[in-house]
Amino acid sequence: MKRVLMVAFHFPPLAAGSGIQRTLRFVQQLPRAGWQPAVLTVHPRVHPQAPASSDGAPADDAVGADVPVRRSFALDAARDLALRGRYLGWTARPDRWASWRAFAVRDGLRLIDRWKPDVLWSTYPIATAHAIGAELQRRSGLPWVADFRDPMAQDGYPADPATWRSFRRIEERALRQAAAAVFTTPGAAQAYRARYPDAAARIEVIENGYDEGSFAAAVALAARDGGGPLVPGRATLLHSGIVYPSERDPRALFAALRRLLDGGRLRRDALRIRFRAPVHDALLRDLARRHGVEDVVEVCPPLGYREALAEMLRADGLLLLQASNCNAQIPAKFYEYLRAGRPVLALTDPAGDTAGALRGAGIDTIARLDAVDAIATALPRFLERLARGRAPLPRPEAVAGASRQARTQALAALLDRTLATSRARAGARS
């Protein structure tokens, strides 16, 4: 069986953040596609001791005993190198775990020497992972696939100029050195083809997805809980996962709620909007208080991953937030929403990739996240369609194509092409 060494920061026993799902499911499913993975990650001491989050914690983090996993030493600059809460900026560039690089390169070279992988793979959003992948590629000569997922150096992000420059250096090296660079949305891929035209032919798209095994367990949980509505007598819209103050800014939604209530177009006892594990709980509670909608909005703590999926299955509708500054990104939660098979109200830029993916799945219930008027129009219409059973549902073919199994097959095909090209070039040189 062919072998791939996978460099990833987010990996069990870490049990929080949607970033873990992509690597974990690839590791679990690649052997069925002809590739045996090994994992180079960080020691668990680096991860905060936080409860499992409904924004992507694995339902089943089991990794086969035949999967080599090397956990390298690293420090969190913000925690381990801080004095009175402050630390030197250079210790956290490109990110707080920059110290991981030296130890991971050492351990990765030993693993390469002993385990003999055919291809290297590294994954963002921790930029140090790509710095490790690049150095392992340089020293070993193995072909490398850089899984960017989302854009790295963007306009205004990272905000610190020195950190932005370090991001740009890493992405430039990756686009120059990697055999393939992978993004999760067409918009991100197109932006990078324009930014790095010499690498355009090596830029690929492999979207995120959902795990069918996790949903099978969630269906059983939902049935055990009775399978009824989340809040009897009220239409309940569920937003599951993090609400970022900028990238998923909910202020216009709260203003629209108050306008609808004041105008009599919405009854307080008819709607419940539930934010599950939003992280920024204080922001949401403050907005609810300022707009006088505390009895319509509830902010709930994290659930285990399967329980969070079961909650999606029981919601009357699912709420998706994505700002226009993320037009080239699609929330990982979107794919779980697809599999849940519930109506979706998306507050996002109609020109962005998220809206495009929704329309591609047959969902047209979309309004701009930053437009109070548009939300005040869209929300009552959505609730009316819910009540009449006419809210659009995702098309079955779109759901099937978004499974993690389908994404793993796409990655395996890319790894096959990468290895074949590398071997052909080696043969030509000899």
- Whose tokens are 């990697």? That residue is 178
Interior angle at CA 48, CA 42 and CA 50, nearest 5: 130
pLDDT at 53 over 50: no
Q: What is the pLDDT of residue 173?
A: 98
Distance CA 333, CA 278 (A): 13
pLDDT at 121 over 60: yes
- Mean pLDDT, the chain, rounded, equals 93
- DSSP states along 317-354: EEEEEE-GGGTT---THHHHHHHHT--EEEEE-TTSHH
The pLDDT tens digits for 348-370 are 999 999 999 999 999 999 999 99
Least confident of 23-37, 219-233, 251-265, 327-341: 219-233
Distance CA 100, CA 131 (A): 10
Mean pLDDT within 39-47: 94
Mean pLDDT within 58-69: 74
The type of residue at 156 is G
Residues 6 or more apart whose CB falls under 8 angstroms from that of 353 comprise 185, 186, 187, 188, 327, 328, 329, 330
> For residue 16, what pLDDT band results from cuts at 50, 70 and 90?
low
Residues 6 or more apart whose CB falls under 8 angstroms from that of 120 comprise 4, 5, 7, 133, 136, 137, 140, 142, 143, 144, 145
> For residue 17, what pLDDT band results from cuts at 50, 70 and 90?
low
Token pair belonging to 296: 């319509």
The pLDDT tens digits for 68-115 are 999 999 999 989 888 888 888 889 899 999 999 999 999 999 999 999
pLDDT at 63 over 90: no
Distance CA 287, CA 255 (A): 9
Q: What is the pLDDT of residue 59?
A: 40
Long-range contacts of residues 45-52, Cβ cutoff 8 Å, at least 24 apart: 46/74, 46/75, 46/76, 46/97, 46/100, 47/13, 47/14, 50/15, 50/16, 51/15, 51/16, 51/302, 52/15, 52/16, 52/302, 52/303, 52/304, 52/305
Q: What is the pLDDT of residue 13?
A: 86
Interior angle at CA 302, CA 285 and CA 226, nearest 5: 105
pLDDT at 52 over 70: no
pLDDT at 184 over 70: yes
pLDDT at 41 over 60: yes
The type of residue at 421 is T
Q: What is the pLDDT of residue 51?
A: 41
> Which carries the bigger pLDDT value, residue 63 or residue 341?
341
> Which carries the bigger pLDDT value, residue 264 or residue 17?
264
Q: What is the pLDDT of residue 20?
A: 85
The pLDDT tens digits for 100-112 are 999 999 999 999 9
The pLDDT tens digits for 368-391 are 999 999 999 999 999 999 999 999
Residue length of the chain? 430
Mean pLDDT within 183-206: 97
End-to-end CA distance of the chain: 25
The pTM for the full model equals: 0.86
> For residue 43, what pLDDT band results from cuts at 50, 70 and 90?
very high
> For residue 140, what pLDDT band results from cuts at 50, 70 and 90?
very high
Mean pLDDT within 161-178: 97
The pLDDT tens digits for 320-331 are 999 999 999 999
The pLDDT tens digits for 301-319 are 999 888 999 999 999 999 9
The pLDDT tens digits for 226-253 are 778 898 889 999 999 999 999 999 999 9
Q: What is the pLDDT of residue 50?
A: 45
